[in-house]
Structure 1
Amino acid sequence: MGSDDKEVEVDMAPHVRLYKDGTVFRQNTLPLLPASPEPGEDGVASKDITLDADRGLWARVFLPSSPSASDLTHKKLPVILYFHGGGFIFGSPDWSGSHMFCAGVAKRSESIIVSASYRLAPEHRLPAAFEDGFSALKWLHSQSLHQSEGKHELMDSWLVSADFSRCFIGGGSAGATIAYHLGKTAFNTPYSAASWTPMCITGLVLVHPGFVRGSRTQEELDCYQDKHMNWNMVEVCSKIILPRGSGMDNSYLNPLPIASSPGSPFTLPKSLVLLAENDALRFYILECVEALKHAGCDIDTVMQHGVGHVFFIDQPDSLQARHMLHTIADFINEDHKIL
């Protein structure tokens, strides 16, 4: 029987279609780009590595210089563990939007980017993506331990001269939600900043994070919506990414209840939150940011005007996209500028 004859449970065409028999049809709406171990015109090299073969987890590493050992020994570069967007249901590190964005960040900030994959819903509902993100973070920590012990032969060769005192976790949209959860997990009981020595998680970079709640204000309903963010997509998507029986006020998507809980100790690494004026999510993101600040978190917010949710996917060469890259680069390097 062809897939068109099956009974559909959730239809998010052209991205994902979930059938009632549990099978899934998924289609990439953007092209996939191959890794390029030799630097391209942008001066950034990339390669793919395996993180966990049993779970099919891998990462694309971006290096803003030649990967030869002679180049890597002269300058230590900060590291950014990055997670792609896609509503937890599609996307990958080789997705063109993610690849081009990571290459741009690597070049502008002079950072090594480890763009990690994670299992997708509906085959793997939350918290699978968070668990995979945490596995990637632990893998990065293992690289820092090998470096500190001089066991370079156990490391990925492109990370031998990484500056693990400057590690950042970032992501876009759903990937920013993963990055937020990793920061929360890494800095709060039973973990703490000291748990990751000699690696230091210096900050979070959250690009249009997917923070949502079950209810909508009129302001949110009236805001600009497009193919990358609309309330129908959010409603349908939540049905196939959250554990069955859960609503959107689940803490996986809604950080506000925990962040605003009185008397509950809560901290995050210093964070940069990027917002888009025409993103209907921005209203609630700002509400969550204010609660996090009230809880004592150090957060900078930057609003870009005239653009929508993850606009840089369709407009990678726009003035706003270039401004975003410079903003991220300044945040990554703000404590290490040459005066």
Structure 2
Amino acid sequence: MTSATKEVAIELLPLIRVYKDGSVERLEGTPIVPPSPDQDPETGVSSKDVTISEDPSISARLYLPKLTSHNQNQKFPILVFFHGGGFCIESAFSSLYHCYLGNLVSQINIAVVSVEYRLAPEHPLPAAYEDCWAALQWVASQSAGNDKDPWLTNSGDFERIFIGGDSAGGNIVHNIAMRAGVESLPCGVKVLGAYVVHPYFWGSKPIGSESKEVHEKSLPSLVWNFVYPSVTGGVDNPMINPEGPGAPSLAGLGCDRLLVCVAGKDLLRDRGVWYVDMVRKSGWKGEIELFEVEGEDHVFHIFNIETENAKAMAKRLASFIFK
């Protein structure tokens, strides 16, 4: 039976369509591309895929900068990265994120572990949160050496571990940082900093420039209810609304530094600014920075990596990491 004749159960345009027979059609997202274990010809960055867990299925793409006589014995900061895509599209292995992260690594000389977490609706939330926490635990466990991944044990600096992500990935970063505040990681490893880009936060009450008329039917509301149908409190659950009922204090964020990026034209811009204000008021003891790029839309820097504004974001991340 072709998709033209199948009955649609749920349609979440422009992202995804679910049919009554249970099949899923992802309308957006970019194709999967292989890693470049022997260095990418353009950037010199090496990448490879690793399995973190067979059950559940969690994997990651690792990136290392070009090794030269000057840096081959150097230890690079490690960025554990969570991709965006509304928890339901895109991949750590997609051309979009492969190009973005390869370019980023070549610009700022860090090691990256880009996590391939399970997607909704086949795996509704909290699957993605659990997978990303498991991946961070796996990275921390590499610090023990022995039969671990040689790329990380030889080239990774486990004193400088950062977590980062954009959009839904930015939401994951927040939730993983909160978890790191109450649960310890293997080998005593700590998260030094969190890089939260155009984060996907929402709530039932509009803030700032958000439209009161269409708030409940807006894409952020619809996506959350689609990817986490069983959640208590809907869009006021603390996982998406950090000041929702019963939300833990943001003073518990389990990292020392926080860089939050927003874009002037982004629908989610005001939520990112509001998040920074909430963290500042919470009594959290770390350092927080807000970086805004005027005139740009949601995750512009992922789609247009060569623009001056995208390069400015990479430079800001570099200054944050190498502080």
Give me the TM-score of the superposition, normalised by structure 1.
0.85
Are residues 108 and 258 of structure 1, via their aligned partners in 2, closer, same or farther at CA, if it must alter by over 3 Å? farther
Pairing 1:127-276 to 2, within 5 Å after superposition: 127-145=126-144, 147=145, 151=146, 154-161=147-154, 162-188=156-182, 191-192=183-184, 195-217=185-207, 219-221=209-211, 232-244=218-230, 246=232, 247-257=234-244, 266-269=252-255, 270-276=257-263
Contact 1:72 1:158 in 2 (8 A): no
Partner Cα distance (2:180, 2:247) in 1: 19
Residue number in structure 2 paired with 1:226 = none
Q: CA deviation at 1:176?
A: 1.1
Partner Cα distance (1:328, 1:312) in 2: 12
Residue number in structure 2 paired with 1:44 = 45
Residue number in structure 2 paired with 1:321 = 310
Partner Cα distance (1:71, 1:180) in 2: 35
Residue number in structure 2 paired with 1:295 = 282
Contact 1:90 1:120 in 2 (8 A): yes
Q: Give SS of 1:220's match.
A: coil
Q: 2:272 aligns with which of 280, 285, 289?
A: 285
Residue number in structure 2 paired with 1:304 = 293
Indicate the larger mover: 247-256 or 124-133.
247-256
Partner Cα distance (2:221, 2:259) in 1: 27
- CA RMSD in angstroms comes to 2.5
Contact 2:93 2:116 in 1 (8 A): no
Are residues 331 and 243 of structure 1, via their aligned partners in 2, closer, same or farther at CA, if it must alter by over 3 Å? same
Partner Cα distance (1:131, 1:253) in 2: 15
Partner Cα distance (1:291, 1:158) in 2: 38
Opposite residue 151 of structure 2, the aligned amino acid is W
Residue number in structure 1 paired with 2:84 = 85
Opposite residue 322 of structure 1, the aligned amino acid is K
Residue-by-residue CA offset, 1:241-288 (whole Å, 9 max, x unaligned) = 1133652111221112379767x8623411100110001211122112
Contact 2:158 2:189 in 1 (8 A): yes
Structure 1 unmatched runs, 5+: 223-230, 335-339
Q: CA deviation at 1:221?
A: 2.7
Residue number in structure 2 paired with 1:26 = 26
Give me the TM-score of the superposition, normalised by structure 2.
0.89
Contact 2:82 2:115 in 1 (8 A): yes
Residue number in structure 1 paired with 2:120 = 121
Contact 1:259 1:266 in 2 (8 A): no
Q: Give SS of 2:205's match.
A: coil
Partner Cα distance (1:36, 1:73) in 2: 18
Q: Give SS of 1:136's match.
A: helix
Are residues 265 and 232 of structure 1, via their aligned partners in 2, closer, same or farther at CA, if it must alter by over 3 Å? closer
Are residues 314 and 267 of structure 1, via their aligned partners in 2, closer, same or farther at CA, if it must alter by over 3 Å? closer
Contact 1:170 1:204 in 2 (8 A): yes
Structure 2 unmatched runs, 5+: none
Pairing 1:45-84 to 2, within 5 Å after superposition: 45-66=46-67, 74-84=73-83
Partner Cα distance (1:265, 1:293) in 2: 9
Residue-by-residue CA offset, 1:48-93 (whole Å, 9 max, x unaligned) = 1111122221111010024x9x887611111010010000001111
Partner Cα distance (2:244, 2:121) in 1: 25
Contact 2:198 2:299 in 1 (8 A): yes
Contact 1:61 1:114 in 2 (8 A): yes
Opposite residue 227 of structure 2, the aligned amino acid is I
Are residues 260 and 134 of structure 1, via their aligned partners in 2, closer, same or farther at CA, if it must alter by over 3 Å? closer
Opposite residue 123 of structure 2, the aligned amino acid is H
Opposite residue 18 of structure 1, the aligned amino acid is V
Q: Give SS of 2:230's match.
A: coil
Q: CA deviation at 1:312?
A: 1.7
Q: CA deviation at 1:125?
A: 1.2
Q: Give SS of 2:201's match.
A: coil
Residue number in structure 1 paired with 2:2 = 2
Indicate the larger mover: 97-106 or 21-30.
21-30
Partner Cα distance (1:245, 1:237) in 2: 13
Contact 1:61 1:113 in 2 (8 A): yes
Are residues 324 and 123 of structure 1, via their aligned partners in 2, closer, same or farther at CA, if it must alter by over 3 Å? same
Are residues 184 and 320 of structure 1, via their aligned partners in 2, closer, same or farther at CA, if it must alter by over 3 Å? same
Partner Cα distance (1:115, 1:259) in 2: 31
